Structure 1
């Protein structure tokens, strides 16, 4: 029989030992260099197994799209798996699979990333392939039209068939006045339906270049090995002086009025409350402010020990679940996101009132030293555990560097976290938990015959 008290003591001892390590001691050993063509490279050695994680990050995402062609960044991500002169149509992922590896890609508002996990001896091959499609992508009209149908179907399955996703999309569109974070990464359907080969290649030729990219290699390699391979593969790709590194985007005016969104759908399930606040990101916050927001939301809304969960679920029993988080990894703005699933459909006003009361207490009274210590310890433990995972490490450095942070800032996060005080958290709560900075949403189920739907618009004509 398992000795549960003994297991608990062991886990407690392990966590205490880990937290006794200073954050700087817990850092992986990294090397950073830049190729002559501007490609930034970070190497994270991990010699426990003969495998590597290879990630190329482009400093471009959906928020960099021209007006009227929403979804082109994500569409191009799909098209990057088509063909080059060296790689036949649709063979990229098949080649990686035959080499015993896995690959994938994703698009965000600020970044686009392509990655492979592969045996060490196959690293040069995937670097050659990735460098090839950085500059030699070939597209036919048939390929583009076929893949356009794929992304339209993806939107239908991920957004149109998901009431929570529709709600999230509508709230984002309301949260931002001018900034493109209000436009979904996948795009608006009526604009996606008109995307053409010209749109894709124009976007590709402008943004895909070594001087607009970051290469992360984590695994059983040395910096010298990666440098030699990077020079041989990516080093042959010319830089693009036309890349606009300033990433000029419209900024939002001051947030002056609280906004509300209500959406009812027969597929919605239980009624739910949602609220999003616009706040600074790690890139735009004052020193220590983003860390304070991170810790504030850890205490307020993360998990069963959070204030929101205990108040709404445990004490008042008006919600079956409640939580939230601070999303601060974006380039321009961050968000605070809160949600609660109402125990009964008519309880949403009670849920909102209770959440507002918890937030008011945080603004007025702040948090306790015990809460701060527990939240900080939890974050640093997660950070140390993450150091054991190649993909998580590659993502940590790649995302941070792609939005403009430095290796020193990325590695200095635990130290910055350790400097946050209860006064810093109270100040952040008082400043940013301001309902005028927010959108509040009610998502409710409706009877099938009561679902109010806008009339269907005729499909736009393709311009391809």
Structure 2
């Protein structure tokens, strides 16, 4: 039932990788510090793969995967894991849907069997689907509708991704969520949930031989199925600067953020830019030693917080972002101007050899720390493979970061940090009403 084992490069993680005959990819991350294992099953489907009019259906199905199968009643999965002294949960992103458990090593076969069961034997009807629809609508109300920052974040995504489905929220738009049916959930399940569209990652006190045997026993008999290509619309060239503002009485701490469309690690021909953007983010952010904190918070004392970040792990597009929160609410415009000035200085004067060297070293240290624990490495591997990034590329990350030069950083910055490529968002409380009650 197995193809030959192919040892993966050990640059970032000690890992072994193989594929079952039915197409299930398997990665083993041995770590013999405690008799514990962490298992993940990641499906190569996320919110960005939803059919038109059913945005958020991937997240809805994630909830429903804890309902009944041919072998287990609804809710039994988590109850069994709890009785075994373990923990379990799941999450959905734009690119993947993931299910994970942590248990004592002797129970790995049990949780693997349960995951294999619900991969093909989920049973749904209106009696379980419709109440769960109310649950996710309530979840949206609590996490999005009642949060000004989250609402503004949705608006930023919609403005940044004008054509690509990353512009739609993972949880879904409320008016579409209200239309979800049992047939919608089952159609999505049968279309995407198959062993040849999944990755199994096991980290902890195991060997590749043990996982190979268990995976062959529990997942090996599952039939592969035809799975659609992940066809997503591309973004057109950006032509206009975009600016959004949200004013709400619920806002206590105003701020300005800026999101810029960027290449991802996986994007064709963009890997060098992605690694350079990681170094740039470390130079600009870098905790207490980054440019923005040092200059805006410490030296100018115009902000209580300022920073930058690069997210390049998505399948299709990445994002480079900035944020600043003023010392005083009335200083918001000045804080934004100070942020603009720092971006201008970066593009005009560049970065130094010393800055790049120190940023690369901090990222190297972070990559060493990333190997600690079980969940962290498993999630990095599972999310990368689920987004179609080869394991070898993930393993080579430290080496490629070490090769980034100041010229690489500036080339990437010039390509990404243009006004028309970014969306600026302002979050503030409403202006105070005049004392005399007249209109401002």
TM bin (shorter chain): over 0.9
Q: Deviations over 1:148-198 (max 9, x none)?
A: 111111111111111111111111111111111010000111111111111
**More divergent stretch after superposition (261-270 vs 358-367):** 358-367
**Aligned ranges for residues 290-329 of structure 1 at < 5 Å?**
290-329=274-313
- Cα separation, 2, equivalents of 1:283 and 1:37: 25
On the 8 A contact 1:58/1:212 being kept in 2, the answer is yes
Residue 301 of structure 1: CA displacement? 2.2
- Cα separation, 2, equivalents of 1:413 and 1:71: 32
Q: Deviations over 1:189-222 (max 9, x none)?
A: 1111111111100000000000000110111111
**Aligned ranges for residues 338-357 of structure 1 at < 5 Å?**
338-357=322-341
On the 8 A contact 2:48/2:165 being kept in 1, the answer is yes
Q: How many residues matched? A: 425
- Cα separation, 1, equivalents of 2:13 and 2:299: 42
Residue 44 of structure 1: CA displacement? 1.0
Residue 344 of structure 1: CA displacement? 2.2
- Cα separation, 2, equivalents of 1:105 and 1:375: 33
Among 276, 280, 286, the residue aligned to 2:263 = 280
Among 58, 68, 74, the residue aligned to 1:89 = 74
Residue 449 of structure 1: CA displacement? 8.7
Taking structure 1 as the reference length, the TM-score comes to 0.89
Structure 2 residue runs without a partner (length 5+): 1-8, 435-440
On the 8 A contact 1:175/1:276 being kept in 2, the answer is yes
Q: Deviations over 1:94-146 (max 9, x none)?
A: 11010111101000000110000011110000000000000100112021111
* Counterpart check, 1:445 vs 2:429: yes
- Cα separation, 2, equivalents of 1:140 and 1:46: 41
Residue 431 of structure 1: CA displacement? 1.4
**Aligned ranges for residues 127-206 of structure 1 at < 5 Å?**
127-206=112-191
User: What SS is found at the alignment partner of 2:289?
Assistant: coil
* Counterpart check, 1:224 vs 2:220: no
- Cα separation, 1, equivalents of 2:419 and 2:337: 13
Q: Match for residue 215 of structure 1?
A: 200
Residue 340 of structure 1: CA displacement? 1.0
On the 8 A contact 2:55/2:173 being kept in 1, the answer is yes
On the 8 A contact 2:264/2:270 being kept in 1, the answer is no
On the 8 A contact 1:172/1:182 being kept in 2, the answer is yes
Among 41, 48, 62, the residue aligned to 2:33 = 48
On the 8 A contact 2:11/2:396 being kept in 1, the answer is no
User: What SS is found at the alignment partner of 1:367?
Assistant: coil
On the 8 A contact 1:52/1:219 being kept in 2, the answer is yes
Q: What is the root-mean-square deviation in Å for CA atoms of aligned residues?
A: 1.5
On the 8 A contact 2:45/2:96 being kept in 1, the answer is yes
- Cα separation, 1, equivalents of 2:237 and 2:387: 23
- Cα separation, 1, equivalents of 2:286 and 2:271: 23
Structure 1 residue runs without a partner (length 5+): 1-23, 451-464
Residue 421 of structure 1: CA displacement? 0.4
**More divergent stretch after superposition (49-58 vs 300-309):** 300-309
Q: Match for residue 35 of structure 1?
A: 20
- Cα separation, 1, equivalents of 2:387 and 2:345: 34
Among 368, 372, 386, the residue aligned to 1:384 = 368
* Counterpart check, 1:264 vs 2:242: no
- Cα separation, 1, equivalents of 2:432 and 2:270: 49
On the 8 A contact 2:160/2:422 being kept in 1, the answer is yes
On the 8 A contact 1:26/1:384 being kept in 2, the answer is no
* Counterpart check, 1:424 vs 2:418: no
Residue 287 of structure 1: CA displacement? 3.8
- Cα separation, 1, equivalents of 2:87 and 2:431: 44
Q: Deviations over 1:420-446 (max 9, x none)?
A: 001111111111111110111111012
Q: 1:229 to 1:446 in 2, by over 3 A?
A: same
The 4+ residue runs of structure 1 with deviation greater than 6 A are: 447-450
Q: Deviations over 1:367-408 (max 9, x none)?
A: 112211221111111111121211111111111111111121
User: What SS is found at the alignment partner of 2:288?
Assistant: coil
- Cα separation, 2, equivalents of 1:201 and 1:447: 48
Taking structure 2 as the reference length, the TM-score comes to 0.94
- Cα separation, 2, equivalents of 1:286 and 1:71: 29
